[in-house]
Amino acid sequence: MVRVMATGVFDIIHLGHLHYLEESKKLGDELIVVVATDMTVRKRKHEPITPQAMRCELVSSLKPVDKAVLGKEGGDIFEIVREIEPDIITIGYDQPFEPQQLEKELAKRGLKVKVVRLPHLDHDLDGTRKIISKIIEFHTVARKLKEIEEK
């Protein structure tokens, strides 16, 4: 059995996430997804929009996912890899890791894991920041239209 591990924030679930998870699942028999904790999201990206428990529950309900778990706080980022024991780790096109470097770091810790970067899904709303921008744009236009109507 080939176990695949995928990781991410999954703050606002979108097609980019689904594509990433579907492609990850195709590489093995079991897909375990590590969802970043709120603290990790704050440190590395932004203030999370949805809390970690909600994000984890949403991810676990997606068809390609066999199991979703919360990541670990601080310390050794490789601890969760030791626990899950994946054969393959997938990283998204925009995740800040280099596959070869990550494989070397894993090997230094006695973990023989293949790391695969997955391609970008070319879609209008394939990222959380794109969705947020679209909502802000929509809200701004709606507010301007309302101001015009009130005149």
The pLDDT value given to residue 126: 57
Nearest residue to 110 via CA among 69, 77, 78: 78
Q: Find the helix or strand (DSSP H, E) in which 110 lies.
A: none
Best-predicted range by mean pLDDT (53-57, 72-76, 101-105, 146-150): 53-57
Q: What angle do CA 98, 104, 108 make, to 5 degrees?
A: 145
Higher pLDDT, 126 or 122: 122
Report the CATH number of the 3-122 domain: 3.40.50.620
**Mean pLDDT within 28-50:** 92
Percent of the chain surpassing pLDDT 90: 57
Mean pLDDT within 35-39: 94
* Dist. CA 141–CA 79, nearest whole Å: 47
